[in-house]
Amino acid sequence: MAFVLICSTIGISQTKADYSILEVGKPMPKINFELASNPTITTDGINSGGWTIFYFWNQGCASCIASLSKINKFQEEFSDKLKVLLVAYNGSQYSGTPDNASIRALYAEKEREKRLTLPISFDSISFHKLKIYSGPCIVIIDPAGIVRHITYTLEEEDIKTILSGKPFVMPKAYRLGENTIQYNHRLPLFLNINGGYDSVYLARTIFSKWEDYMPIDLTFRGKGKIFQIMGIDIKAMYRFAYFGLPYFAYGQPEYTKSFPTPLLHLKDTSMFCPDYRLRKNLFCFSTSISTGNLSMEQIQKRLQNELTSLFNLKAEVKKKKMPYLKLINVKSTNIGIDSTDKSLLKYKSISEFLYDFYMVNIDKQLLVISGVKIDKVNLYVPVNMEDFNSVQRVLEKQGFKFIISTKEMSVIEIYDL
């Protein structure tokens, strides 16, 4: 059972420590929490002599909510070496009204649904004092109480490396006041340091590398005079240049008409291998005119020209029979599995499962289509949907399976010039 930390105004009682000094290499500011079952617990008393992870999150952060199961798994797997505390924002800085009731209800739902056993504090005060805004913000404390990492991402291999004591650098989570870069979507990218520094220029109209201090922008901005996309990979650039969309959402008409992954006939494909977790191999494109309006055809043509001239590559759109994953019935009725298995998630429809499966594996650009006539079913799948073989085994137990099928689609083929 999770124990719940109740905060002052909402219950938190605080020391006179300077909360704003949250810095790697310095002691974690001491915070006292009132508990339902004990008088108080402090940051240095949560896991005295062991590693501690504070996971700051808010209800508007979809990736935070999606990661709760993973964080819970870390606590279970490494319970003898570290302790995890969830800290949920219940103030009003995001929505303008207090989020206390809504985030408590949201967490109660996720706690039941994902079988979470983590301790949690509903506390907006520490967010403001520690200058935390974006989520997730993950603060990792060593056994001596020293802050070792302030990051936005955490995987099992990261934890193993941290616990091994080896030197280790993690991506930085910026807090309020740390990143002073401003962005105005009505001005060309990098003009007077708009959105970032001009040291990352690759080309103009402008084509550049994306750095982690820059915003992400995937929309048509301004009165048709300026168009900018920021923070996407080269495959998405090609999809936008030739199909008009950087990503295909599950269920969109384009989803089954255009194959999402370009076919590469290249000597070096490293540029086409982005790392979204570490934010590597991502790019920006900006084009603008002083008078008139840019049409979509003009924007796509400019991007096509930049991709060709900058990287010395040729792209062609062809019609081909392309593979996709098709979910089918292998039995007339499913045989059922252990619904209490904590490693499984329950879905009430095929489409809901396929949507999540596609989103979890979106970086792999797996095209998935349902060949099942009945959509409303009780379906159990592994929590880790990135493990295809595991997903396939559990599906087969319930009378379903993925097969490789083909259909004619438009596909981008890319060649060295």
- Averaged pLDDT, groups of 10, the chain, 417 residues long: 38 42 87 51 63 92 92 92 90 86 91 89 86 91 92 94 89 86 87 85 83 82 75 92 86 84 94 87 89 86 95 96 90 63 84 88 78 86 88 89 92 96
pTM: 0.62
With a CB cutoff of 8 Å and minimum separation 6, the contacts of 140 are 51, 52, 53, 54, 147, 148, 149, 150, 151, 154, 162, 170
Distance CA 34, CA 12 (A): 6
Q: How many CA atoms lie within 13 A of 344 on its CB side?
A: 20
Tell which residue, 251, 403, 398, has the closest CA to residue 323.
403
pLDDT in the model for residue 41: 55
pLDDT in the model for residue 305: 95
E strand or H helix at 315:
strand 313-329
The CB density around residue 380, as the number of other CB atoms within 10 Å, is 20
pLDDT in the model for residue 332: 58
Distance CA 352, CA 350 (A): 5
What are the C-alpha distances in Å from 392 to residues 180, 326, 328, 381, 403? 47, 12, 11, 9, 10
Distance CA 272, CA 45 (A): 46
Token pair for 299:
């924007």
Which domains occur in the chain, in start order? 4-164 (3.40.30.10), 198-316 (no CATH), 321-410 (no CATH)
pLDDT in the model for residue 39: 44
Kindly state the DSSP code that residue 215 receives in the 8-state scheme: -
pLDDT in the model for residue 294: 84
The three-state DSSP-derived secondary structure of 144-182 is CCEEEEEECCCCHHHHHHHHHCCCCCCCCCCCCCCCCCC
Kindly state the DSSP code that residue 69 receives in the 8-state scheme: H
Token pair for 345:
């998630």
